[in-house]
Structure 1
Amino acid sequence: MPETSLAAKPHYPILDGLRGVAAIIVVTFHLTEPLGTGHLDILVNHGYLAVDFFFLLSGFVIGYAYDDRWQKMTVGTFFKRRIERLQPMVILGMTLGAIGFYFTDSTIWPIIHTIPLWKMLLVLLIGYTILPIPLSMDIRGWQEMHPLNSVGWSLFFEYIANILYAIGIRKFSKTALSILVLIAAIALAHLAITSPNGDVSGGWTLNAEQLRVGITRTMYPFFAGLLLSRIAKPKHIKNAFLWCSLLVAIVLYMPRIGGADHVWMNGIYESICIIIVFPLIVYMGASGMVHSQTESKICKFLGDISYPLYLVHYPLVYFYVAWISNNKGTTIVQAWPYALLILIGSIILAYVALKWYDEPIRKWLRKKWG
């Protein structure tokens, strides 16, 4: 998911801001998802593509931050930096999920109150490592590899991409990396167009089919972002944050393409968005400049809260999903005040977590690890 560059290098503030825009849209996706009857009529229909956008952003910024550091940095140092950046919020996100686990009383999760405390705590401890749990340990009944905090699956694949980069792909020439990215793009398009639902949604279950989805969703965007960081020559683009934010919103809020009869059309749409549009957005964002102190503050705020927001919002969404499932027939008109409350509450919680937990812990880890 999100990434920040090393302190000695300047940030791309617009890319920080875009990460926050996408994170907020993810929350709106999860808030509208339980109001749909299936994958065809969710109001924020392509919100899950934000994960693919995060992977591309991460690959780009990691290439920018680390590619020229390897003569002075070991693989171990790289992993320490990644753990310092990612793991504190993973631990908090899983803990919040565990705190709320037995309180999300709903007919949608009848299994919850049959789960002994020791088993929930074991799943929590495994969750702290971001390693996936097998289906035999599913304690929610949604077949998720992280049932205490659903979004953990993408962090698992983020780590896989980081490991692949550090142990070998960082050494690829531009040509070799281009070939890898091309093969990954073909695999992604094949997945999107031929999948039963005509989309790339999935990757959160520990079985062969879903692992394929997760790996395919990770390989192209992450390493396309890495390639983009090596070959892009940014040019000055006016109002880049505004235009890029609009493009991200259009892609993610786009209604379903093709309907139930032509699901492959939606697969083509998603392939184009991930393979072409997302790299274009990142290139534009890297080419733009912030033009006012207000825009700079907005981008910084959105970038700062993006990762905490991603990790803390879903424990709150569980309560919202339980409420909707207990009140059959709930409409968007009835649900929106509660959805807005969850959205605002998630942003506040993310900011509190950032300032009172994440930044102090990361500062302590940097000091401890030198």
Structure 2
Amino acid sequence: MNASDRAAPPWQGRYVTLDGMRGIAALGVALFHYNISQAPHGYVAVDFFFALSGFVLCRTYLPRWRTGLTSVQFMKQRVVRLYPLFLAGIVITTLSAVSNRWTGRGDIFSYEKIASSLPFNALMLPSPFTHTLFPLNVPAWSLFFELVASLALVLVLFRLPRKGQVAVAAASACIFVPAVLANDGGNIGPLWSQLGISLVRTAMSFTAGVLLAQLPAKDIRHPGWLGVFCLFAIVTMLVANPQAIPKAWYDLACSLFVAPALVWLGSRGEPSRVLVPVAWFLGEVSYAVYAVHWGLMEPLRWFKDDLGWNPALMGALYLSACVGLGWLCVRYIDIPLRRRLNILLHARARHVPPRSVPN
């Protein structure tokens, strides 16, 4: 078989370093929720996610938007991309929450609370009847704001001049900084009482990513030290706990500077060829890991907290379980359901009657 006949690897043409960093960030959030001492600042990964999303969506869709992509078409694509795994996460975490009634571990939800919040949460909407936006899958708040940011991208940010986008990011940062200082940290987002700051946090990082996407960049990204450095740096950002720096100031440094810088650096170079398949795989399962990890948290905490198993061992087993379940969700839920949704949307588009043209 000639080299030209071989199928291209699935990571060809992708930002593999950014894929790997996204996967590491998802694992960092999961580990923070499972055992905060092992990833004490894992929640700043959310700011990285928003900056990365703004970067990738701007790079991907701004040229299409300029050539006629409508806001409705764009949002359909975003819903198709986000909803299948979001729904899988809600189902899995709901089943896990219900099981707490028999195990006695984790939050015990009344059936009334589950019944009142689930119809809204299943539609990717916050529950109006609880203090937490998504009580059955708490991290899902950022996925909801991801959808909000996507809508703002086509309705506002794409239409603003560069100075306007800078103004949005700067104004958001001016509100975000005192909120983090008052909260003594940047772990803000899942509660109704934090709704305004959650919007500001999203706008700040997402718009920063949009601005980065419009900077000049090379089309060729050679594998080398830069990609490896970025993968190492994001691990360090999430697990480090420098005692000499106040928690709030460390979080602000990560949110305002480190996370956007890592997005930019990660787009400039790729990891070594040995690490490329690993980085690509972590990126492939990253969204699924983020969507479902809350459902595995309490069942596997039992081994660590009640049986006294080694915390480091259980942290590794927990992350492995998250990756395994995430891969199953991608393989058997996300890919088939997205394919089906795309077929339905394209079929409906073909059957829309043409508009009448006046004489």
Shorter-chain TM-score range: 0.7 to 0.9
Q: Which residue of 1 aligns with 2:262?
A: 281
Q: 1:94 aligns with which of 63, 83, 90?
A: 90
Secondary structure, in 3 states, of the residue corresponding to 2:38? coil
Distance in 2, matches of 1:158 and 1:365, equals 20
Q: Which residue of 2 aligns with 1:191?
A: 179
Q: 295-304 or 307-316, which moves further after superposition?
A: 295-304
Q: 354-363 or 100-109, which moves further after superposition?
A: 100-109
Per-residue CA shift, 1:52-94, capped at 9, x if unaligned?
1111100000110111111321111000010011000111100
Distance in 2, matches of 1:149 and 1:316, equals 11
Q: TM-score, normalised by structure 2?
A: 0.85
CA shift in 2, pair 1:83/1:337, >3 Å: same
Preserved CA contact (<8 Å) 1:25 1:252: yes
1:205 equivalenced with 2:191 (yes/no)? yes
CA shift in 2, pair 1:350/1:187, >3 Å: same
Distance in 2, matches of 1:241 and 1:280, equals 13
Q: How does 1:22-171 map to 2 (within 5 A)?
A: 22-33=25-36, 42-70=37-65, 71-104=67-100, 105-106=103-104, 109=107, 111-112=108-109, 115-116=110-111, 119-134=113-128, 137-138=129-130, 143-171=131-159
Per-residue CA shift, 1:222-256, capped at 9, x if unaligned?
00000100124348673222100111111111115
Q: Which residue of 2 aligns with 1:215?
A: 199
Q: Which residue of 1 aligns with 2:342?
A: 366
Q: Which residue of 2 aligns with 1:3?
A: none
Preserved CA contact (<8 Å) 2:304 2:310: no
Secondary structure, in 3 states, of the residue corresponding to 1:103? helix
CA shift in 2, pair 1:45/1:291, >3 Å: closer
- Number of equivalent positions: 331
Could you list the runs of 5+ residues in structure 1 that have no partner in the other structure? 1-6, 34-41, 260-264
Q: 2:235 aligns with which of 249, 254, 258?
A: 249
Q: 227-236 or 174-183, which moves further after superposition?
A: 227-236
CA shift in 2, pair 1:108/1:18, >3 Å: closer
Max Rg structure: 2
Q: TM-score, normalised by structure 1?
A: 0.83
Per-residue CA shift, 1:97-150, capped at 9, x if unaligned?
1212221233653x43xx23x65244222111121113xx34xxxx42111111
CA shift in 2, pair 1:338/1:239, >3 Å: same
Preserved CA contact (<8 Å) 2:42 2:238: yes
Could you list the runs of 5+ residues in structure 2 that have no partner in the other structure? 1-9, 347-359
Q: Which residue of 1 aligns with 2:19?
A: 16
Q: Which residue of 1 aligns with 2:166?
A: 178
Distance in 1, matches of 2:262 and 2:126, equals 31
Letter in 2 for 1:269: Y
Preserved CA contact (<8 Å) 2:55 2:213: yes
Percent of aligned pairs with the same amino acid: 27
Q: Which residue of 2 aligns with 1:310?
A: 290
Distance in 2, matches of 1:304 and 1:108, equals 29
Letter in 2 for 1:127: N
Letter in 1 for 2:15: Y
Secondary structure, in 3 states, of the residue corresponding to 1:23? helix
How many angstroms does 1:212 deviate by? 2.3
Distance in 2, matches of 1:203 and 1:317, equals 19
How many angstroms does 1:299 deviate by? 2.1
Secondary structure, in 3 states, of the residue corresponding to 1:277? helix
Q: 1:337 aligns with which of 274, 297, 313?
A: 313
Letter in 2 for 1:54: F
Preserved CA contact (<8 Å) 2:17 2:271: yes
User: CA RMSD for the aligned pairs?
Assistant: 2.4
